[in-house]
């Protein structure tokens, strides 16, 4: 069986480098929902070498910081499950107290109808991710 994250077309690509992609989840209920996908087909974080782990998490945290800056959410949710698709990816989800599932996870039972929110502008998000990664590398 082909892995959907290995064969996915990247219409929803926001940002990438040699190791990972940041893609929009395109969930209309969650405009601040993005996935950071490791390019190589690996199942577990502990299968990555120490530098790769750090780089992957730097990108996850750069997306988190960017969403905080651009969307001002009440909370960021980070999740790495991979039970259905065992190819390393992190979910980075901007959450709001009035969103469809808050305070439950977005995969739980729906709590309410939620007001519509705009997604961050893609070019602005990519630029912000670059800026956050530059800031992290300067801090090291």
- Candidates 76, 87, 96, 117; binder of Zn ion (CB under 5 A) is 87
Nearer to Zn ion, 59 or 67 (CB): 59
Q: How many CB atoms lie within 10 A of CB 138?
A: 7
Question: Which has the closest alpha carbon to 133: 70, 62, 84, 27?
Answer: 62
Per CB under 5 A, the segment of 29-37, 75-83, 85-93, 125-133 that binds Zn ion is: 85-93
**Contact (CB, 8 A) for 92 and 76:** yes
Question: Which has the closest alpha carbon to 17: 49, 40, 50?
Answer: 40
# residues near Zn ion by CB under 5 A: 5
Going 103 to 107 to 108 to 111, the CA torsion angle's sign is positive
43 near Zn ion, rule: CB under 5 A: no
Nearer to Zn ion, 37 or 63 (CB): 37
- Candidates 6, 81, 124, 127; binder of Zn ion (CB under 5 A) is 6
Q: Cβ of residue 30: shortest distance to Zn ion, in angstroms?
A: 23
Tokens of 2: 């082909």
**Contact (CB, 8 A) for 35 and 79:** no
Per CB under 5 A, the segment of 23-31, 37-45, 98-106, 109-117 that binds Zn ion is: 37-45
Q: Name the residues that contact Zn ion, by CB under 5 A.
A: 3, 5-6, 41, 87
């Amino acid at each position: 069986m082909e892995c959907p994250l290995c064969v996915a077309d990247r219409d929803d690509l926001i940002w990438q480098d040699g190791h990972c992609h940041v893609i929009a989840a395109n969930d209309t209920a969650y405009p601040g929902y993005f996935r950071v996908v490791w390019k190589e087909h690996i199942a577990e974080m502990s299968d990555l070498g120490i530098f790769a782990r750090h780089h992957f998490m730097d990108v996850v945290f750069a997306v988190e910081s960017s969403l905080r800056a651009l969307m001002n959410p009440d909370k960021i949710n980070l999740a790495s499950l991979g039970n259905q698709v065992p190819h390393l990816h992190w979910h980075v989800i901007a959450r709001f107290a009035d969103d469809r599932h808050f305070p439950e996870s977005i995969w739980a039972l729906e709590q309410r109808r939620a007001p519509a929110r705009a997604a961050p502008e893609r070019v602005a998000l990519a630029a912000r991710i670059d800026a956050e990664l530059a800031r992290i590398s300067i801090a090291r």
